[in-house]
Amino acid sequence: MQHLEAECGVPVPQLMENAGLAVAQEAWLLLGEIAERRIVVLCGPGNNGGDGLVAARHLKDWGADVTIFLLKPRAEDDPVFAPLVERQVPVVVGEIGDALASAELIIDALLGTGRARPIEGALADVLGALQGVRAQRLPPRLMAVDLPTGVDADTGAADVRTVAADQTVTFAVSKVGLHVFPGSQYSGRVEVVDIGIPSALVNDAAKTELLDRRWAQQHLPDRPADAHKGTFGSVMAVAGSPRYTGAAYLACTGALRVGTGIVTLACAKSIHPILAAKLAETTFEPLDDKDGELSAQEAGPVLKALARGYECLLVGPGLSQSGYVQAFIKGLLPHLTTEPAADSHRALRAVLIDADGLNNLARVENWPALLKVPAILTPHPGEMARLTGLSVAEVQGDRLGVARKYAAEWDVVLVLKGAPTIVAAPDGRARINPFTNPGMATGGTGDVLSGVIAGFVAQGLAPFEAASLGLYVSSWAGELVRREIGSAGMLAGDVAQALPRAIADLRGEGPRAASSSGRADILQMLASAPEEGHLS
């Protein structure tokens, strides 16, 4: 914490006091009642252990039955340990023994962000004992301080001895390692708490953010009462082929369901009747085709149609992979422009390339040179491997690093789909999706996502914000569906239909999934509680 003291002007003891109080408050909330509850606090020798000792002091003062385990001895005049000696809190040093046997809550304050080598020795023995009690039929709850011991804050790598927590209380900003695999499997529910670090310093330092509800609420486009369809922008989707009519349908539905004013589907004439029967609200640009596939000759008609004033072009869902389509993309992308046509006050804001748009693009030599306007790319790991020349394992081994590197190298907004999905900007910023929903692992959800993002671009959001908001809203819609029907059997169409409910919920126009007001009231009460005696 010393570097934080130098940068933010808050003394280390005060940061530790704030952190320990926050951990104690979260422990109270987790248990629901603190008096006489049996709590064991596992403390390492560093600042993370100091946070644990401060938490133990507060819990003791609130009436809990607290035991402290010290990995290494601390001097009795240690400022954070001495108050516990005065309160005659039981202390176990070095060997854990049976200290965990009767615990109702265990607080892991052993290492935090300091892990740099494999866990061994006494610490390995403690984690082995912790794993044993957590494997019981009725295990104690486990709360991690800042990070579960053994999880890397930056990569999510986890030591083989790491024990999964029920909850992690982390400070100031969430850590990447808590939200990417395998670290996310050990973090449980993550609570980010304020410990007094100035928000400006946090914001300047945090190139990686976890998307959250408040951020999404703040970035939803306005819906003025005097609006008309032109107010909410227009999307043109170039999508579909005889084998993949559903991809075009889902992408257009995604754009419509987030409130886009006009959505036009440019598709092969041979599949136009099929899609026109399903998409009553979509307008069409039927294009000549060769056995259902678009060719280079159709780039001209698409460019002419775009000049009428579309804010976002979506290219790729269900186009299929062939030399014809590859030539179409090569003929289309270099001629896109953000300059409005002479008879239009609207202009293209961005192109979004997804699915077969990416697969065909990957076959073009020096394909980044084709991108002349702001671009959003939305690959899954296989598509990302084809675009980069990496293996899928290499992409998955460092999802955040790969996304950030190639967003900068290609000068694009990159949405790397997976668990979790990551949105990276050319300037090095990245945002991580908080949702991992196995129900979304089904064909077509990516097409819905591409339509949603395109719809938010059309409504005026910058590409990075549109991609981030589109990811959050579509994921929240998927979460609403999962809560209704479970994670098996969800369809992409279910997610598309749930988009308006997700937006209404975020706006406060629909039923809220949860309320935080009661939690806030309890935290305030705890913050003002007397240092001694029971809570009344």
pLDDT at 229: 87
pLDDT band at residue 374 using 50, 70 and 90 as cut-offs: very high
Range with the poorest average pLDDT among 172-186, 401-415, 442-456: 172-186
> Rounded mean pLDDT of 286-315?
95
The answer on pLDDT for 436 being more than 50 is yes
- Take residue 429 and report the two structure tokens written for it: 């910023």
pLDDT band at residue 201 using 50, 70 and 90 as cut-offs: low
Q: How large a percentage of the chain has pLDDT more than 70?
A: 90
d(CA 395, CA 458): 30
pLDDT at 403: 96
d(CA 536, CA 534): 6
d(CA 152, CA 83): 31
Question: What is the number of other CB atoms lying within 10 angstroms of the CB of residue 388?
Answer: 17
Region label for 63, one of left (φ > 0), alpha (ψ between -120 and 50) or beta (otherwise): left
pLDDT band at residue 8 using 50, 70 and 90 as cut-offs: low
> Rounded mean pLDDT of 15-24?
94
Nearest to 168 by CA among 113, 244, 232: 113
pLDDT at 220: 97
Amino acid at position 463, single letter: P
For 124, 136, 163, 243, the CA distances from 132, given in Å and listed in that order, are 12, 7, 10, 53
pLDDT at 384: 97
Question: For residue range 153-171, what is the model confidence (pLDDT) as tens digits?
Answer: 888 889 999 999 999 999 9
pLDDT band at residue 341 using 50, 70 and 90 as cut-offs: confident
pLDDT at 241: 96
Question: For residue range 28-61, what is the model confidence (pLDDT) as tens digits?
Answer: 999 988 999 999 999 999 999 999 999 999 999 9
- DSSP H helices, 445-516, are 445-458, 463-485, 492-507
The alpha carbon of residue 244 and the mean position of all alpha carbons in its chain are separated, in whole angstroms, by 29
Given a contact cutoff of 8 angstroms between Cβ atoms, the answer to whether 378 and 350 are in contact is no
> Rounded mean pLDDT of 482-508?
95
pLDDT at 377: 98
pLDDT at 207: 81
Given a contact cutoff of 8 angstroms between Cβ atoms, the answer to whether 153 and 180 are in contact is no
Range with the poorest average pLDDT among 100-104, 151-155, 360-364, 468-472: 151-155
- Take residue 47 and report the two structure tokens written for it: 């600042």
d(CA 483, CA 485): 6
Residues 6+ apart with CB under 8 A from 86: none
Amino acid at position 173, single letter: V
pLDDT band at residue 115 using 50, 70 and 90 as cut-offs: low
d(CA 150, CA 138): 24
Question: What is the number of other CB atoms lying within 10 angstroms of the CB of residue 280?
Answer: 6
> Rounded mean pLDDT of 450-463?
98
pLDDT band at residue 486 using 50, 70 and 90 as cut-offs: very high
- DSSP H helices, 107-166, are 121-134
Given a contact cutoff of 8 angstroms between Cβ atoms, the answer to whether 211 and 433 are in contact is yes
pLDDT band at residue 289 using 50, 70 and 90 as cut-offs: very high
Give the single-character DSSP code of 290. B
| List of domains in the chain | 2-206 (3.40.50.10260), 217-507 (3.40.1190.20)
The strand pairing partners of 143, in sequence order, are 107, 167
Cα-trace Rg, the chain: 27
Which H or E run contains 15? helix 12-31
d(CA 390, CA 381): 10
The answer on pLDDT for 515 being more than 50 is no
For 3, 15, 87, the CA distances from 79, given in Å and listed in that order, are 20, 14, 14
The alpha carbon of residue 512 and the mean position of all alpha carbons in its chain are separated, in whole angstroms, by 20
pLDDT at 526: 54
Given a contact cutoff of 8 angstroms between Cβ atoms, the answer to whether 391 and 385 are in contact is yes
Residues 6+ apart with CB under 8 A from 387: 358, 361, 362, 367, 377, 379, 406
pLDDT band at residue 114 using 50, 70 and 90 as cut-offs: low
Given a contact cutoff of 8 angstroms between Cβ atoms, the answer to whether 299 and 328 are in contact is yes
Give the single-character DSSP code of 112. G
Nearest to 477 by CA among 458, 454, 452, 508: 452
| Dmax (CA) of the chain | 85
Q: State the pTM of this model.
A: 0.79
Range with the poorest average pLDDT among 25-34, 115-124, 333-342, 433-442: 115-124
Number of H helices, E strands in the chain: 20, 17
- β-pairing, 422-424 with 413-416? antiparallel
Question: For residue range 203-215, what is the model confidence (pLDDT) as tens digits?
Answer: 544 688 889 899 9
> Rounded mean pLDDT of 63-81?
93
- The per-residue DSSP string of 156-221 comes to --B-TT----SEEEEESS--GGGTSTTTHHHH-EEEEE--S--HHHHHHH-SEEE--HHHHHHHSP
> Rounded mean pLDDT of 515-525?
52
Work out the end-to-end distance of the chain between its first and last CA atoms, rounded to an integer number of angstroms: 35
pLDDT at 172: 84
> Rounded mean pLDDT of 423-435?
94
Which H or E run contains 280? none
> Rounded mean pLDDT of 217-245?
94
Given a contact cutoff of 8 angstroms between Cβ atoms, the answer to whether 485 and 268 are in contact is no
Highest mean pLDDT (candidates 150-164, 219-233, 313-327, 343-357): 313-327
pLDDT at 525: 53
- Average predicted confidence (pLDDT) for the chain: 90
